[in-house]
Amino acid sequence: MTEEIIIAGFGGQGVLSMGKIMAYSGVMQDMEVSWMPSYGPEMRGGTANVIVIISSERISSPIIKHFDTAIILNQQSLDKFESSIKPGGVLIYDGNGITRHPERKDINVYRVDAAEEASRMNSPKTFNTIVLGGFLKVKPIIKLENVIKGLKKSLPERYHNLIPMNEKALIRGEEIIKEVQKAL
Amino acid sequence: MEKELRLMKGNEAVAEAAIRAGVDGYFGYPITPQTEIIEYLMEANPAETTGMVVLQAESEIAAINMVYGGAACGKKVMTSSSSPGISLKQEGITYIAGAELPCLIVNVVRGGPGLGTIQPAQSDYFQATKGGGHGDYHLIVLAPASVQEMADFVDLSFELAFKYRNPVMMLSDGAIGQMMEKVYLSPQKERSKTIPEWATTGKPSTRERNIITSLDLDPNRQELFNRKLLAKYDEIREKEVRFEEFQCEDAEYILVAYGTSARVCQKSVQLAREQGIKAGLLRPITLFPFPTKRINELAGKVKGMLSVEMSAGQMVEDVLLSVNGKVPVYHFGRMGGIVTTPEEVVESLKSKLIGD
């Protein structure tokens, strides 16, 4: 099993930390993982992205151009990465601020309106965890208990009081993700 | 004791491994993409646990000369930087090589020339393996290709540095420095209390004074010293070559790549084999000494080789010398901070070596 994922959005949306939680969760499940962030000028305002690979085998290249799953959190990232999804692959996006929706017909498209849900839950910071919950519903490659363990590992101890709220957000993400399109 | 599993960036792994290897001192100056090394060390504050000194110098030049001083006292000392900063350190590095002192220099390479870019590159190969500073000298150069090797090679570097009284460079790049992977960390070693016999730590009445210098104005003595260095480099060439082979047994085409490019090429080998092309990968782990002999042997069995580097073509010259005309050798690589994709490598292999 190898899952090659790109997560992309605005800096500050929690793109890198969502990837980090995924990677830690993979470690907790005894998988091989790699986490390769964009650290360039993008990070200093603008778009941020991270490539996460979770695999049962040793990972060769941590930098790749085609993905099994793209998790897209803004319009710029959708424009940039829609074409990088493997045929039959998965696109998960948040509809907030999206004016041009996905156009490819050969991929599975899901929508998780996490920004809206996070503000409804009155916890905007759980935005990325809601998205992660949606991803895990579509690709249940990591068990929830290992994600919680991963959260514990990736959050500094002073934030461990936020874990129950994040657990709720994960479950909410699983509930609200909607299938928009099955691949042709 | 069991090894501890962590998920870390390559830069953080170097820092943690340095503490655990019982390093006496780190002297550095921040520069992207390797600043996490000094950040991690400052936060870990090993002065309170192992007694390791961590110091942010006023410049790269100051940092390398602090390393020179610490090494002259027989201590395990290191510095790290990225390409432009490593250029600044070159004077100190050639002095350290000329004074035959052990130390570790980590270069997390970014694209050049000049300030270039902060993105990953491998364009410092010539500088690392062919000198960098002036005079006839060599560093021992190790090329980690994973976060695990970023950690493991710290200890190995000091082992080699002290064995040969020679500076060692870890030639990494921005991708390996910035990415996170699983890493198994060795248990904490105590800092060594033994002082090497050549170290300048005060002259007892029982021996002559030790002198650490890279200066000798007598041409005859200097030439003798040059010959001594050459003999040392020959011994290193004979005993310390390290490399890894991936699917080379039945290969018709060999990719030669180190560091991040070697990771990319491992995937290229898989992709090529899916298309029926028998490709293999030779990954030099030591860039000096270079696996010349093994590449020459393999050249006798294959149809061609492709050197894949994130540069305009530097290691390819060593591959050409190793192959010595037996088969065609080409270079493929991206520059400017762009990491080559596995697919591009296969396309290049087909267009340059196989033809349609």
Task: Provide CB contacts within 8 A for B251, sequence distance 6+.
Answer: B278, B279, B280, B298, B301, B302
Taking CB atoms and an 8 Å limit, are B263 and A37 in contact across chains?
Answer: no
The pair phi, psi for residue A180, each rounded to 5°, is -100, -35
Q: From the list A20, A33, A40, which residue is nearest B181 (CB)?
A: A33
* CATH 3.40.50.970 corresponds to the domain B4-188+229-237: yes
**How many CB atoms within 10 Å of residue A58?**
8
B9, containing H or E segment: strand B4-9
Residue bearing tokens 């990070």: A43
pLDDT tens digits, B116-172:
999 999 999 999 999 899 999 999 999 999 999 999 999 999 999 999 999 999 999
How much of chain B, in percent, has pLDDT values that exceed 70? 99
pLDDT digits (tens, 9 = 90+) for B217-234: 999 999 999 999 999 999
For chain B, give every domain's residue range: 4-188+229-237, 244-354
Going by C-alpha positions, the residue among B155, B142, B156, B158 that lies closest to residue B286 is: B142
pLDDT of residue A155: 84
- A61 pLDDT above the threshold of 70: yes
Check B179 against A61: CB less than 8 A apart: no
Give the number of domains in chain A: 1
CA angle, B351 as apex, B347 and B356 as ends, to 5°? Answer: 100
Topology of the domain covering B244-354:
Rossmann fold (3.40.50)
Give me the pLDDT at residue B86, please: 98
Alpha-carbon span A64 to A87, nearest angstrom? 15
Residue A149 reports pLDDT greater than 80: yes
Q: What gap in Å lies between CA B268 and CA B281, rounded to an integer?
A: 9
Cβ B316 vs Cβ B331: under 8 Å: yes
Min CA distance, A90 vs chain B (Å)?
21
Cβ A59–B181 below 8 Å, yes or no?
yes
Q: What is the mean pLDDT of residues B177-202?
A: 95
Report phi then psi at B312, rounded to 5.
Answer: -80, 0
- The domain in which residue A117 lies consists of 2-181
CATH number of the domain bearing residue A105: 3.40.920.10
Helix, strand, or coil here: A5?
strand
Higher-confidence residue of B187 and A44: namely B187
pLDDT of residue A156: 86
Q: In this complex, which of A33, A41, A60 lies closest to B267 when CB atoms are compared? A: A60
Peptide bond into B84 cis (omega under 30): no
Sign of CA dihedral B134, B140, B143, B148: negative
Q: What is the pLDDT of residues A73-123, one digit of tens each?
A: 999 999 999 999 999 999 999 999 999 999 999 999 999 999 999 999 999
Mean pLDDT of chain B: 97
Task: Using an 8 Å CB-CB cutoff, list residues of chain B that contact chain A.
Answer: 5, 7, 32-33, 117-119, 174-175, 178-182, 260, 263-264, 266-267, 270, 337, 339, 341-343
Question: Quick count: other Cβ atoms within 10 Å of Cβ B163?
Answer: 14
Helix B10-20 and helix B35-44: axis angle, to 10°? 40
> Which residues does chain B have within 8 Å of residue A152's beta carbon, measured at their own beta carbons?
none
Strands laid side by side in the B103-109 sheet: B53-56, B25-28, B77-81, B103-109, B167-173, B140-142, B286-288
- Average of pLDDT values for A149-159? 88
Angle at B271 between CA B265 and CA B272, to 5 degrees: 85
d(CA B67, CA B28): 9
For range A9-37, the mean pLDDT: 94
Share of chain B above pLDDT 90, in %: 98
Q: How many CB atoms lie within 10 A of CB B203?
A: 10
Longest dimension (CA), chain A: 47
Helical packing angle, A163-176 and A127-138, nearest 10°: 50
CA A9, A10, A14, A20 dihedral sign is positive
Interface test with B, best of A58, A59, A61 (most B CBs within 10 A): A61
Q: Are A94 and A73 in contact (CB under 8 A)?
A: yes
Task: Name the more confident of B89 and A150.
Answer: B89
Q: Do A39 and B342 touch (CB under 8 A)?
A: no
Give residue for tokens 């432009």. Answer: B84
> Do A32 and B182 lie within an 8 Å CB cutoff?
yes
Q: How confident is the model at residue A43 (pLDDT cuts 50, 70, 90)?
A: low
**Residue B1: pLDDT over 90:** no
Residue A153: band (very low, low, confident or very high) from pLDDT cuts 50, 70, 90:
confident
* Alpha carbon B144 to chain centroid, angstroms: 7
Place of tokens 């060594």: B192
Strand B103-109 versus strand B77-81 pairing type: parallel
- Between CA A54 and CA A59, with CA A55 as vertex, the angle to 5 degrees is 95
What pLDDT, on a 0 to 100 scale, did the predictor assign at position A41?
A: 64
SS3 (DSSP) at B325: coil
Residue B309 binned pLDDT confidence (cut-offs 50, 70, 90): very high
Mean pLDDT within B289-309: 98
Three-point CA angle B264, B268, B273, nearest 5°: 155
Chain A residues in contact with B271 by the CB 8 A cut-off are none
Name the pLDDT band for A38 (thresholds 50, 70, 90): confident
Which strands sit side by side in the sheet containing A32-37, from one edge to the other? A178-181, A108-111, A85-93, A67-72, A2-10, A47-55, A32-37, B180-185, B4-9
Q: What is the DSSP string of A147-171?
A: HHHHHHHHS-GGGGGGHHHHHHHHH
Residue keyed to tokens 């080699």? B160
